[in-house]
Amino acid sequence: MEAWIKAIFFPGFLFLLVVFLGIFYMERKILADVHLRTGPYYVGKWGILQTTADVFKLLQKEFIIQRRANKLLFSLIPFVAFLMVAALIAFIPFSEHSYIVSTSFDLLVVLALVTGMPPVFFYAGWASKSKYSFIGGLRVVNQMISGEIPLWLSALAAAVFYGTLNHLQIVHESSWLGFFILLPAFLIFVTATLIVTDRPPFDIPEAEQEIVYGFLTEFGGFNYAILVLSKLIELFALYSVAVVLFLGGFKGPVLPGIVWFFIKIFGLYLFTFVVRASTPRIRMDQLLRFCWKVLTPLALLNLAFIILVKMFIS
């Protein structure tokens, strides 16, 4: 298949749009389940079209730019953010053959792009010229940078263990032994993912009760949809990387590869949603202390441990 067809259709844009609608629906349903509610119910069978309806509602909305906002930056930022995270998807092998590109430095590119996100979000907050957005932007930078160190370190642990940066090769070489050895790295990676993508309980940059919606406050309609979508894609890409690095990617008995891949992703998402339903948000200073005093040293220790193991195995 041609690469551009892949990019648009199968593992690319349209496929992912459906996937995100599904994930959004799933989040609502699972949260509703934990809340003992029913969740979406009336639109479509079991309310399955609710998210689609919401997306169309967002697309219809007026394009509002604040009077004092930096107009160019304000309207440009969502697309920049979207392009940056959309590039992440290209490097993820959903099954043996369904990937867009595969290079020898896949992991490096993914991590580099994720590291590039904080300034984009900061500018999103800065350009909207609202106090809440501004504080939200500052918080994003603060939080993401402190979260990215453990993210890098734990991802590199896997790369060191398998001796390659190519996703496909990592999947092929993965085994049960590798899973158990990399378990601490996996836990650190998932925690760091929650921090980097500001998911609860680390949703400090968009803490609703403090600063309304952080850097997203002034966005509405299509811009908002794109920005939120890019945040969702970031989380999805990082979880996919987690699946590839630590959970054996598309490997699995009986069922086709892509199904296994999504089952694993589903597990991770379930965990995210349940955490959201049970853990109150922590404060910025507590988060920074947690990142720099606990998570980063642990990630470093883990890296040292992996290097030791690697020495013994080889």
Partner 1 sequence: MGNSISLAGYTFVVEETKEISGEDLGLLQEKLLQLNWGVQHPASGPMRLKVWVDGDEVVKVDPDIGYVLRLLEKLVEYRTWQNAIVNVERACFIDNFGTMTGYSIAAEKIADVELPKKADYVRTILCEGGRIVSHLIGLGSFVGVMGVHTPMQWALIAREKFLDAFEVYSGQRIATASIVPGGVRFEPTGKFIEKMVSAVDFLEKEFIPRYAEVFIDNPTLKIRSQGIGVVPKEKAIELGLAGPALRASGVASDVRKDYPYAAYGELDFKVVTKEEGDAYARYLVIWEELIESAKIIRQAIEGLPEGEWRTKFPIKVPAGEAYVNVEWARGCFGFHLVSDGGTGPYRLKMRAPSFANLWAMPEMMKNVKLADVPVIFASLYMCHGDIDR
Partner 2 sequence: MEAKDALKIPFEATKKVIRVTKALFAPKATEIWWDKGIKRELHYRGKHIINAELCIGCSMCARACPVNCIDMVPTGVKKPRAVPKVRANECIFCGLCEDACPTKPEKAIKLTDHYSMILEDVTWDKLTEYTFEPENLDEALEKAKKMEELLEKKKQEALKKKQQAQQAKAKAEAGKEKPLAEKKPQQEGKPQKETKGEE
Contacting residues toward partner 2, per CB under 8 A: 30, 33-38, 41-42, 191, 201, 271, 274-275, 277-279, 286, 289-290, 293-294
Nearer to partner 2, 121 or 239 (CB): 239
Cα separation of 188 and 165, whole Å? 19
Cα separation of 37 and 80, whole Å? 37
Q: How far is the CB of 197 from partner 1 (least distance, A)?
A: 15
Cα separation of 105 and 165, whole Å? 5
What are the residues whose beta carbons fall under 8 Å from the beta carbon of 274, sequence distance 6 or more? Answer: 30, 34
Which of these, 76, 13, 9, 5, lies nearest to 236 by C-alpha position?
13
Cα separation of 296 and 114, whole Å? 18
The CA R_g of the chain, rounded to the nearest whole Å, is 20
What are the residues whose beta carbons fall under 8 Å from the beta carbon of 266, sequence distance 6 or more? Answer: 26
Q: How far is the CB of 239 from partner 2 (least distance, A)?
A: 17
Q: How far is the CB of 30 from partner 1 (least distance, A)?
A: 12
Q: Which two tokens stand for residue 97?
A: 């053959």
Q: How far is the CB of 133 from partner 1 (least distance, A)?
A: 11
Q: How far is the CB of 291 from partner 2 (least distance, A)?
A: 11
Q: How far is the CB of 191 from partner 2 (least distance, A)?
A: 8
Residues near partner 1, by CB under 8 A: 31, 34-37, 68, 126, 129, 131-132, 134-135, 200-201, 203-204, 207-212, 276-286
Residue 180: contacted member of partner 1, partner 2, none (CB under 5 to 8 Å, by partner type): none
Nearer to partner 1, 138 or 181 (CB): 138
Residue 57: contacted member of partner 1, partner 2, none (CB under 5 to 8 Å, by partner type): none
Nearer to partner 1, 38 or 175 (CB): 38
Q: How far is the CB of 45 from partner 2 (least distance, A)?
A: 14
Give the angle subtended at the CA of 144 by the CAs of 140 and 150, to the nearest 5°. 165
Q: Which two tokens stand for residue 171?
A: 């999947």
Cα separation of 210 and 136, whole Å? 10
Nearer to partner 2, 160 or 274 (CB): 274
Residue 204: contacted member of partner 2, partner 1, none (CB under 5 to 8 Å, by partner type): partner 1
Q: Which two tokens stand for residue 36?
A: 């003992």
Which of these, 118, 174, 125, lies nearest to 149 by C-alpha position?
118
Nearer to partner 2, 7 or 31 (CB): 31
Question: Which DSSP category does 281 fall into?
Answer: P
Nearer to partner 1, 288 or 300 (CB): 288
Residue 41: contacted member of partner 2, partner 1, none (CB under 5 to 8 Å, by partner type): partner 2
Nearer to partner 1, 253 or 280 (CB): 280
Residue 72: contacted member of partner 2, partner 1, none (CB under 5 to 8 Å, by partner type): none
Cα 283 to chain centroid, rounded = 21
Residue 212: contacted member of partner 2, partner 1, none (CB under 5 to 8 Å, by partner type): partner 1
Phi-psi map region of 119: left, alpha, beta (phi>0 left; psi -120 to 50 alpha): alpha
